[in-house]
Amino acid sequence: MIGIETEYGIYVEGKGAQDLVDEAGYLVKLVPSPTVAGRWDYRQEHPRRDMRGFTVDHLSIDPNDAQFEQTGKPHSTDIEVRSDRVLTNGARLYNDHGHPEYATPECTSLREVIAHDRAGERWMQRLAERRMKQLGAESLVAMYKNNTDFHGASYGTHESYLMRREVPFDKVLEGLLPFFTTRQIFAGAGKVGCEKTGAAFVPFQLSQRADFFTTLASVDTLYNRPIVNTRDEPHADALRFRRLHVICGDANFAEVATLLKVGTTLLVLRLIEQGLAPKTVGLRDPVAAIQSISQDQSLKWCVERHGGGTVGAVDIQRAYLAAAKEHLTGLSPDTDTVLIEWEQVLNTLETDPLSLADTLDWAAKRALLEGFMDAENLSWSDPYLQSLDLEYHNTDPAAGLYYALEQEEKIRRVVTEEEILKALDTPPLGSPRAIVRGLAVRKFPDAVQKISWGGFTLEHEGQSARIRMADIQEREPVALAAALENTKTPAEFIAVLATSPV
């Protein structure tokens, strides 16, 4: 199972940073029925629990963010501020520290997760348009699928992967650090400038998030960010599985970039689980490396390796690719697709990286910016370029620069527009968990209580039943969806789930 959570940047004309917590809440509350509102069960969440076997006392908070979270306007409860909504496609939408966050439902294929990730863009734009109607015709509400406000604040795009519990943490860390440090060469969204304190001038870099990582591994996500996040919050059978929570990626529009970001990570996790990850790619300082790779204007991306000498980011990725080709070829159609795309992109990154403007976000954005600079005789130091950078991420098809590329068919696609529109209100067809959650919300929203990723309670005529997702995640999804679709009452819905599959 895989999923992507994206915090969106928000601009509301006439509002300051101190108003954005409220504004994000207003947006989320505009989700139309049917939906489940305000019933998210936070007792099932444990963000301070570390997969290394301990629980930290507190999480680090960015002092820049903290000053804006106190709006001076009282709220009745934290639940009201969060404004949680669970959607008919099985997704969750809520206010996370002043950013509307869209978390896809659990997906079981790359096409599903790409379609549902992009459905999040459509949801955000719908809500922005509804908010503009509330505020009046002259007001502007803009949503940005990006990771920085260019004033030192970063917000996340997180990925979740189901993996086996018994893999020792040191093997997870050893296998992932070189991979995550170098994955940005195809998964970065591109960025004008640098926000690292004291850094030299950087015209353009690969990743929006690289500036903000300071340590190798920790449970934190908001400040003192790690390359490998150690949050232990499985949302599944905790004895068998962990949910690897990945925070070092950028928000992608380009669908091939998402396919590679998620698909290669899935394959590397399978290698780690089987003890087959390459062992010759250790880095001397991964934190320094993730930033130097992002900022390298030569596009050679060489970093210091553990034990001396240097190694190229492409070479590190090739080591993972070689192991995956040797051990995982034929595992699934998705696997073989990823292996082909991975190799082709690495070949091009090594010889002509800027020719990938039709495939990768960072290359597409750079090509757009360089074309504008040539036309207007601008340099990389012109502050206007950051405004154009931001507009690449605008979710409004009439304003977003990525959408212009898409409309002109200058960017490669993986899924169709029909698949994205279907994902707006339909759960991924390969995911029993998302099917059950989404259909419960669509058919019986008033009966759904205490909902979380791990399950929910259905109440009907004084009776209640707890639905545990761990009990149904291996059910056959098509038959399950058909049976649940035919139910007329919550009691019938519960009965279907209680029936052992044939």
The model's pLDDT over 155-200, given as tens digits with 9 standing for 90+, comes to 999 999 999 999 999 999 999 999 999 999 999 999 999 998 888 8
The pTM (predicted TM-score) of the whole model is: 0.95
Virtual torsion, Cα 344, 347, 351, 353, nearest 10 deg: 50
* Segments forming the whole domain that contains residue 466: 429-498
Across 6-27, average pLDDT:
94
pLDDT in tens, 352-371: 999 999 999 999 999 999 99
pLDDT for res 283: 94
pLDDT for res 70: 45
Degrees to nearest 5, angle at CA 427 with 421 and 429: 105
pLDDT in tens, 122-135: 999 999 999 999 99
Q: Are residues 467 and 413 in the same domain?
A: no
The answer, yes or no, to whether residue 233 has pLDDT greater than 50, is yes
Classify residue 379: in a domain, yes or no: no
- Strands (E) in 80-137, as ranges, are 85-86, 92-96, 99-103
Classify residue 382: in a domain, yes or no: no
The residue from 398, 419, 440 where one domain ends is 419
d(CA 19, CA 282): 45
Q: Are residues 308 and 438 in the same domain?
A: no
CB 349 within 8 A of CB 185: yes
pLDDT for res 279: 86
Copy the structure tokens of residue 46.
Answer: 């444990």
pLDDT for res 500: 63
Classify residue 56: in a domain, yes or no: yes
Q: Other C-beta atoms within 10 Å of 13: how many? A: 12
Nearest CA among 91, 65, 88 for reference residue 6: 91
pLDDT for res 104: 98
The answer, yes or no, to whether residue 501 has pLDDT greater than 70, is no
pLDDT in tens, 326-341: 999 999 999 999 999 9
Copy the structure tokens of residue 194.
Answer: 């640098």
CB 184 within 8 A of CB 312: no
Whether omega before 34 lies within 30 degrees of 0, making that bond cis, reads yes
Classify residue 384: in a domain, yes or no: no
Nearest CA among 220, 29, 6, 30 for reference residue 96: 6
Active site residue 96: yes
d(CA 100, CA 6): 8
pLDDT in tens, 275-291: 999 987 789 999 999 99
Q: Are residues 86 and 195 in the same domain?
A: yes
Look at the block and give the residue holding tokens 């169709």: 416
- Strands (E) in 167-274, as ranges, are 191-192, 204-205, 213-218, 225-229, 241-249
Catalytic residue among 62, 65, 84, 96: 96
CB 93 within 8 A of CB 87: yes
CATH number for 223: 3.30.590
Q: Are residues 408 and 449 in the same domain?
A: no
- At 77, is the pLDDT very low, low, confident or very high (cuts 50, 70, 90)? low
Whether omega before 178 lies within 30 degrees of 0, making that bond cis, reads no
Classify residue 371: in a domain, yes or no: no
Copy the structure tokens of residue 419.
Answer: 């698949």
Q: Are residues 410 and 489 in the same domain?
A: no
The residues, ordered by sequence, that sit 6+ positions from 273 with a Cβ below 8 Å of its Cβ are 163, 164, 167
pLDDT for res 44: 83
Averaged pLDDT score across all residues of the chain: 94
Q: Are residues 360 and 467 in the same domain?
A: no
Copy the structure tokens of residue 461.
Answer: 């005529």
Q: Are residues 112 and 222 in the same domain?
A: yes
Classify residue 102: in a domain, yes or no: yes
pLDDT in tens, 405-429: 999 999 999 999 999 999 999 999 9
Q: Are residues 227 and 269 in the same domain?
A: yes
Q: Are residues 22 and 90 in the same domain?
A: yes
Q: Are residues 309 and 435 in the same domain?
A: no
Virtual torsion, Cα 276, 280, 286, 290, nearest 10 deg: -80
The answer, yes or no, to whether residue 68 has pLDDT greater than 60, is no
Domain count of the fold of the chain:
2
Copy the structure tokens of residue 462.
Answer: 């004084």
Classify residue 374: in a domain, yes or no: no
The answer, yes or no, to whether residue 344 has pLDDT greater than 90, is yes
Q: Other C-beta atoms within 10 Å of 258: how many? A: 24
pLDDT for res 65: 60
Q: Is 142 exposed, middle or buried (0-12, 13-18, 19+ CB in 10 A)?
A: buried
The residue from 419, 440, 462 where one domain ends is 419
Q: Are residues 210 and 109 in the same domain?
A: yes
The residue from 375, 400, 419 where one domain ends is 419
Nearest CA among 99, 107, 103, 139 for reference residue 4: 103
Classify residue 378: in a domain, yes or no: no
Q: Are residues 175 and 240 in the same domain?
A: yes
d(CA 245, CA 221): 10
CB 160 within 8 A of CB 247: no
pLDDT for res 458: 96
pLDDT for res 196: 86
The answer, yes or no, to whether residue 110 has pLDDT greater than 70, is yes
